[in-house]
Structure 1
């Protein structure tokens, strides 16, 4: 249970590629992030990543009409059937080819996928358990090039498919007699999107060159006729009709077969025909680039189009009236989605990893989130564990809320990559270092994140290698940073002793030097290593030092006596993969890989290690053994993930990885004719390599975070399904615990409940204690059980509504056992910090509500006093009473409103 960490959430990355979807209620956005899926709850201001992952980056996501199921398809054609209710994978399927889009029918009975130049219709999985969730119904042929988009009619009778060959095909979902397929032309570029009009077969088609064609159908959806069955189906149907006629004697019946019209009506009705009513162009003045994404809301007739220049348009159809135009980015808009009410529009920009939700009527942002443009290299937890600060190679510093998963402030003052970030002890100030030669401090209490300290490292004369700048003083003075000389190679890591004024510096010269900050900045000890040092960290109590070296070892040292106390060989635990262009095997390439980041656990008994690998290892320090290994990613779209070379990519001309696979897509070099080239010739296709750049344990010890190539991954303890008793014997049963409660022997009941360690039973036992007896029972608890009760109280604050009751428990336990707990401050520190984190969260929430209600009550009191001063001689309905009634209306209006969404997920 102590190391039952599971993937909890993904921060730092909000959108990569694929299509966006709104849930059926319109309050949440489903965004594909690499090979994972994140749900952004806009109403409750939370984001949560589903605990699932595909083998490659997600290409498309199809959402069922009821919002219960989702089909997630990656770039390799592997599909996952996901239940959004229980957040689990129900079925795996492989489409045997790259899928471009997937769409459910409005009735939820079928779904269509576009693959290559064909469209395949499957029976949608139902709510009952099935042996095969995906059953192929029909395969539709017609387009000569890759299919790009799908749209259904409202009655699920037909669907349209767009293609790169500039044509749009309308297919019947059933065997219609007057509509088998219909091909529409009129465009000069690839089709980007196609949309049916509400309750109609009328169609809108949009192409990449910014052209919109309006198509009118001469047949209503009700005019589609089913094709008469032939062969054995017709004989069977005729027998069924004869039997029904015998049972219903004398009843007149219409001469139709399964919706088949009479022959006379069939002769009068012809085939379905389309005619083009109008053709519009978005880029008449040539101000915009290619159209890249579009969405259409059928009820409000709103068309949203996104372009490669980062501009989007809002038009009203079919008149093509421009409503709004705005530039949201300088990168192409990759995906557009509209919620069910038509008020919110979601935009995804893959170039910047940006996700925006725009309310077009009020012209304001509902959500504006963006991750680091380049990889994240450092992170730090706040002292209470509620916030995480990250620094990236893009020079940005972002602060994330661990509860909501949103970034609420971004600092862009650094002009180069950020190398280190940390919180001060108060948790209100962030100190950062950068490759631009500056150390900056940011105040979180100031709204703008004002920089109030700015140290310019370039103004001092120390060399870039071998010198360590001393840390700035806490109080600003005329003292300049000093130069600590002694290393003969580049500095690879710095770490302060949390208990003493000692600085440890690791270098490539195979030494770790300890500097005394309180005694003339001199070197107290020099630790000799067997290889170049890559990372260094102190244990939380400062009594031990861990160093990661280039030979993939982790050595442990006693900083007081400068004696090595142990070492761990981690080369076999890294298991690095083979890159696509490597000439050597993964086994030989692992010889050059090592751990590059270390972090002790909150209790100091374990240590986390990560580096150029997809694995994060947690070791027991004293036993020097591997306790658990976490695979942070299974995304094969990243490099160095596979151990063996994929021979399918080897040809007689060499490795296919040397060929730009994205040459025909946006941003690549397109060569349509011999000798003709266009596009950015400097653009190159590359695959990012999987790596872990930083690791940190939460101060509460219940979770840890890692900055990786895919983003900021958070792993937390999952104790829901684990049975972890304490000193259990046959006398500890739920029956005896409840019997002790009936006898009002609360102390015995609590001890037995914590020995059994079942959460529901613990909650029942503690809440059965009267509030006026909590102090007496708290004093009778043994010291060993006080820590367990505090840990349960800390976790209960997250979900329970009995806030005052649990606060009384916490207060009495700390007041009675406070002196005894000081002797075990090292082991109790994570529990106390976890308790402080949850209490502080409630304090912030309740204080905002109380402040707002205080001003409302003052206003209501002032209005009531004004009404009380009214002269009693005034008759009812006088002018003063009318004024007072107007004041009442204003007061009710103000009381009803409030800053409920003032602190929305804007960053």
Structure 2
């Protein structure tokens, strides 16, 4: 089995903090999710998280005008220059301070960042490789408080910066003679956003109290003139000017002054300094001080202004007339970020309080995208049997179903009134069963998205886990407070039995995949095996040395893995109740040190353990995770650590640092402990008397990194983990992996193509799969004529049949040659099915991978066929009705027309009833 699992995607988190951006074509939204960036492709309905991460949560993202580069800055001031084309980091940089915003100039040559009370302009990286991609050009001073926002003119000659000191500053990007800087005042609160008008120096400024000021400039952009150079530069330019005048034979005309090689008309020399005047002042906020303006965006071509408020309301206005177009509420939390796409049709909203991302088409008043993660942390996850869907449950009481191909949540189930503790699929994949702390176990139908069964106990209890047997007929759930296991019938919903015997809370349940035997784990240091067909009796009791936290069966049911509180994973033979192995995982877990811990990470690891375990699809390996940022992959037979995966490198989360940060140490001890004891009261920062700066209701919350659930995909190609960061997907990166299979020097691409020309298809396929190149294998398989597939597939050795099946399963997700690959799959299974039965356990992931691709095509084609069948039935019914009318009499009046419509409806209903009878 390959272990080249790499980070693939992040689900369950769509927006955390920072600013939203649209791509250049306007079809994708770029959203910061913690310390990562996710690109939501709205046109193709896919989400993709870039394989890069910053050390802290992302504060701001700036896109280049051509959409190829992005500057990502985190809360600590560290920046990444990222290529969005190849999805890789090109350069690292540190701005030595917290950066609030970053913006490229429209010509792409420079970018400006706001840091503290200054603005810094850098030369933007070019297309050629450079030693230093970020070169500081100028530093602009002026504001007395933190700078908040940036906007450029269309010609990249000037930019405007807003500040918390209620002033707006216009700076020149060049050394203009009539504009060095210009300060605008008139607001009574911090500036949230400022925008230039299209092809003009006129601008709009918006403050936190909802005030909009319209500023008019008396000078057009062409009226800006460069400052005359002095010293040796002036001598060089004068010499160049004299040489140009000698070459210029047309000396007549208006007198012109040349500065830096540019001609400026004489009339512009007499132009004075640039001046601004306020034309109007409008007020957006009509609900008082509690509803502050939090975000704004302006589309210059359509003159559309979008403003978001702390109450979740947003307004659409047309400027400069200030005409209200829309005023709607999208949430009950503050709108943290707003963005408009290039065409001005779609508006993106980000709400950090709910982790919500919305894309609204304002003209049709409809949602293009509406996604929201779990409000609190995720607790449980489960894969569908074919690997197409993932279901997650969270502490917020919601159950969400995610599509693994698109990365989007397509249904949210909200029937639970308390935190969800366990989720699972039935064997058919059409039913989801969940347990909750509200005392109910619910079954949901994925066809109609409804709760069709609710299982309850005779007396109120909190359920901590849930399990369903392989037939889907028996549902069991473990109680957290009564230490009992309840068993229900899925068909009738009746309580079948209550299993008693444990003396502590039930921590985990798992059914044997091959038999109706239930394994229950408890804090009473035992694992009990219950026989569902033998009067619900305890078959065996496995005694352990510590509290049991998790239990799981191997996919073939021949082995049982148990995780205990002393950081051990023990393996048992369930038939003979004999322990067959154990793994000591305390040193592999590597827990971190919390910010307020008074002990080292080495000592704190003594109280940590694995809280979730999961077998791989072939049963040879096991994944384990817990209160740590690491997930450990062990080989079961050898009992060794194969690989350790780091889920996050985000230091904005707690328990990430292994050692104490010496910069936080003072002569009085840890600075975090001192600040907590002296400067805070119940988590609220205490300011000086009479000072009202900042949010008085703010809370210092730093979530701790942990892994709550792990699952391998049934296909064996990927595994998922629910953590503080969200739902992380790790998959096999086949593009970067070179895995030759029985390779020797005689196997080359040239010999493969030569064998194809000689029509030796079996030899060409064998060599292609030895070289293990995807394109060569595709070329070899597709070169086989359709009428010879059966002969070639029968001549393949058994070892290569598995390789070909894996390739076909992967091809179903990408290729359009559906019928051709289906014929290959059918002939291979018909020819080698009997011989492969002996390796059923190892082949199960491959077969499920095949099923996943086939099921996806089946769903897409069946929807299309149902729609086409309905249209054909309707057309036949209408044509039949018209033929009957022609034989009777022509239709002249409106009554006859209405009657004909009723007849067609009757015929259509009759056709539908006849079809339903045939289906039944």
CA distance in 2: counterparts of 1:606 and 1:463, whole angstroms: 30
Match of 2:805 among 790, 796, 800: 790
CA distance in 2: counterparts of 1:612 and 1:70, whole angstroms: 34
Match of 2:325 among 323, 329, 332: 323
SS at match of 1:192: strand
- The residue number in structure 2 matching 1:548 is 563
CA distance in 2: counterparts of 1:638 and 1:165, whole angstroms: 32
CA displacement, residues 215-254 of structure 1 (integer Å, 9 cap, x when unaligned): 0100001110011111111111122223333444565583
- The reply to whether residue 635 of structure 1 matches residue 636 of structure 2 is no
Match of 1:490 among 505, 509, 518: 505
CA displacement, residues 406-456 of structure 1 (integer Å, 9 cap, x when unaligned): 000011111111000000111111000001111000111114x23333334
Question: Does the Cα contact within 8 Å between 1:790 and 1:831 map onto a contact in 2?
Answer: yes
SS at match of 1:348: strand
- The residue number in structure 1 matching 2:178 is 178
Alignment of 1:883-898 (within 5 A): none
- The residue number in structure 1 matching 2:487 is 471
CA distance in 1: counterparts of 2:675 and 2:291, whole angstroms: 23
Q: Which runs of 5+ in 1 are unaligned?
A: 872-878, 885-907
Change over 3 Å in CA distance of 1:261–1:276 after alignment to 2: farther
Moved more, 389-398 or 793-802: 793-802
CA displacement, residues 582-615 of structure 1 (integer Å, 9 cap, x when unaligned): 0001111111111110000000000000001110
Post-superposition offset of 1:372: 0.4
Post-superposition offset of 1:776: 1.3
Question: Does the Cα contact within 8 Å between 2:487 and 2:498 map onto a contact in 1?
Answer: no
Post-superposition offset of 1:859: 6.2
Question: Does the Cα contact within 8 Å between 2:225 and 2:264 map onto a contact in 1?
Answer: no
SS at match of 1:753: helix
SS at match of 1:255: strand
CA displacement, residues 94-120 of structure 1 (integer Å, 9 cap, x when unaligned): 111110000011111111000000001
Alignment of 1:137-216 (within 5 A): 137-216=137-216
Question: Does the Cα contact within 8 Å between 1:546 and 1:555 map onto a contact in 2?
Answer: yes
Given the two structures, how large is their TM-score scaled by the length of structure 2? 0.91
CA distance in 1: counterparts of 2:227 and 2:275, whole angstroms: 17
Post-superposition offset of 1:69: 0.7
CA distance in 1: counterparts of 2:173 and 2:302, whole angstroms: 26
- The residue number in structure 1 matching 2:855 is 840
CA displacement, residues 66-86 of structure 1 (integer Å, 9 cap, x when unaligned): 111111000000111111111
Post-superposition offset of 1:322: 1.1
CA distance in 2: counterparts of 1:656 and 1:618, whole angstroms: 37
Question: Does the Cα contact within 8 Å between 1:439 and 1:456 map onto a contact in 2?
Answer: no
- The residue number in structure 1 matching 2:12 is 12
Post-superposition offset of 1:650: 3.2
Match of 1:755 among 770, 773, 781: 770
CA distance in 1: counterparts of 2:805 and 2:843, whole angstroms: 9
Alignment of 1:63-462 (within 5 A): 63-248=63-248, 251=251, 254-258=256-260, 265=267, 268-286=270-288, 289-447=291-449, 449-456=450-457, 458-459=459-460
CA distance in 1: counterparts of 2:516 and 2:451, whole angstroms: 28
- The residue number in structure 2 matching 1:694 is 709
CA displacement, residues 240-291 of structure 1 (integer Å, 9 cap, x when unaligned): 2233334445655833223777796356311000001111112235386010
CA distance in 2: counterparts of 1:436 and 1:87, whole angstroms: 44
Q: Which has the higher contact order (CA 8 A, sep 6+)?
A: 1
Question: Does the Cα contact within 8 Å between 2:765 and 2:777 map onto a contact in 1?
Answer: yes
- The residue number in structure 1 matching 2:616 is 601
Question: Does the Cα contact within 8 Å between 2:439 and 2:461 map onto a contact in 1?
Answer: no
Tell me how many residue pairs correspond in the alignment: 871
SS at match of 1:238: helix
Question: Does the Cα contact within 8 Å between 1:22 and 1:338 map onto a contact in 2?
Answer: yes
Question: Does the Cα contact within 8 Å between 1:24 and 1:66 map onto a contact in 2?
Answer: yes
CA distance in 1: counterparts of 2:552 and 2:500, whole angstroms: 20
Change over 3 Å in CA distance of 1:569–1:270 after alignment to 2: same
Question: Does the Cα contact within 8 Å between 1:466 and 1:487 map onto a contact in 2?
Answer: no
Question: Does the Cα contact within 8 Å between 1:380 and 1:423 map onto a contact in 2?
Answer: yes
CA distance in 1: counterparts of 2:140 and 2:404, whole angstroms: 47
Given the two structures, how large is their TM-score scaled by the length of structure 1? 0.92
CA distance in 1: counterparts of 2:662 and 2:440, whole angstroms: 48
CA distance in 2: counterparts of 1:429 and 1:660, whole angstroms: 51
CA distance in 1: counterparts of 2:245 and 2:622, whole angstroms: 81
SS at match of 1:626: strand
CA distance in 2: counterparts of 1:682 and 1:178, whole angstroms: 46
CA distance in 2: counterparts of 1:659 and 1:715, whole angstroms: 40
- The reply to whether residue 717 of structure 1 matches residue 729 of structure 2 is no
- The residue number in structure 2 matching 1:905 is none
SS at match of 1:155: coil
Match of 2:830 among 806, 809, 815: 815
Q: Which runs of 5+ in 2 are unaligned?
A: 463-477, 887-891, 898-920
CA distance in 1: counterparts of 2:378 and 2:90, whole angstroms: 33
- The residue number in structure 2 matching 1:33 is 33
CA distance in 1: counterparts of 2:652 and 2:133, whole angstroms: 27
Match of 1:736 among 751, 756, 759: 751
SS at match of 1:89: strand
Post-superposition offset of 1:403: 0.5
Moved more, 679-688 or 237-246: 679-688
CA distance in 2: counterparts of 1:261 and 1:757, whole angstroms: 64
- The reply to whether residue 770 of structure 1 matches residue 785 of structure 2 is yes
CA displacement, residues 589-648 of structure 1 (integer Å, 9 cap, x when unaligned): 111111110000000000000001110010000001111110000000000001111122
- The residue number in structure 2 matching 1:500 is 515
Change over 3 Å in CA distance of 1:820–1:659 after alignment to 2: same
Question: Does the Cα contact within 8 Å between 2:209 and 2:289 map onto a contact in 1?
Answer: no
Moved more, 811-820 or 760-769: 811-820
SS at match of 2:524: coil
SS at match of 1:817: helix
Moved more, 780-789 or 76-85: 780-789
How large is the Cα RMSD of the aligned pairs? 2.7
Question: Does the Cα contact within 8 Å between 1:467 and 1:484 map onto a contact in 2?
Answer: no
CA distance in 2: counterparts of 1:463 and 1:548, whole angstroms: 19
CA distance in 1: counterparts of 2:59 and 2:19, whole angstroms: 7
- The reply to whether residue 44 of structure 1 matches residue 44 of structure 2 is yes
Post-superposition offset of 1:190: 0.4
Change over 3 Å in CA distance of 1:457–1:652 after alignment to 2: farther
- The residue number in structure 2 matching 1:531 is 546
CA distance in 2: counterparts of 1:107 and 1:376, whole angstroms: 44
Moved more, 259-268 or 602-611: 259-268
